[in-house]
Amino acid sequence: MISKTSAAMSVKRQFHITFGHTKDHSIDYLTGILLDSRLTTVQSIEKLTVSQLDWQYAPGWNTIGALLSHMEAIEHFFRIEFVLGRKLTTEENGHWTPALDMGEHLPKLITGKSVDQYMHELTASRQMLVDAVRHLSFEEFTRKIEGYYDEQTGCNLAWALYHMMEDEIYHRGQISMIRKLYAAHHGSGEG
């Protein structure tokens, strides 16, 4: 269980997934992947400065901080909509929409927050998702979700959560690229 930012920073990757935490091994497998993918993300950003987090290569480009906010927002959205099975409240929608949509909202996502704040938020959101997922039955995990991708007649929760993690890993690649651009732009080898 990862519950504090300092704990997340001191935890090393285990390189194996443990089973027996839930009645269903598929849930254990998913939670192992969820925890490891977030730990890898947190480890990849733990030494970034506010300048690196908020830097834009060019106007309209994503920042590392905006991408981290997006990861957190997507996670809350998937937990609420797909795992808990309810729509976002008006308040939740107002809070998460800028980070979900980015684009025109990007200026609102350049916040001056420290890496510790981002790591705390990312660690907390992942723990909330893991806690929710650990209570799923196999039937809930494999249930069909209508309307997610209409051309393919929906998806199941297992795929939706895979897709959420796929999105995080894709954005972690973007973060790596932005770090390299930042280092090149600022004449340092620290990317």
Q: Which residues of 73-86 are buried (b: 16+ CB within 10 A; e: fewer)?
A: bbbbbbbbebbeee
Residue 177 in tokens: 């690229």
Separation CA 158–CA 137 (nearest Å): 11
First to last CA, the chain: 30
- CA distances in angstroms from 156 to 44, 50, 139, 147, listed in the order given: 30, 38, 10, 11
pLDDT of residue 155: 85
- Which pLDDT score, from 0 to 100, does residue 144 have? 86
pLDDT of 7 reads 42
CATH number of 23-185: 1.20.120.450
What is the pTM for the complete model shown? 0.88
What single-letter DSSP state applies at residue 150? G
Q: Which amino acid is at 128?
A: M
Domain ranges for the chain, please list them. 23-185
Task: Show pLDDT as tens, one digit a residue, over the chain (191 residues).
Answer: 444 444 444 567 778 878 888 788 888 899 999 999 999 999 999 999 999 999 999 999 999 999 999 999 999 999 999 999 999 999 999 999 999 999 999 999 999 999 999 999 999 999 999 999 999 988 998 888 877 665 667 888 999 999 999 999 999 999 999 999 999 999 876 55
User: Which one-letter amino acid corresponds to residue 24?
Assistant: D
Max intra-chain CA distance, the chain: 54
Q: What angle do CA 61, 65, 71 make, to 5 degrees?
A: 100
| H-state helical runs in the chain | 5-10, 25-45, 50-54, 64-78, 90-101, 115-133, 138-142, 157-185
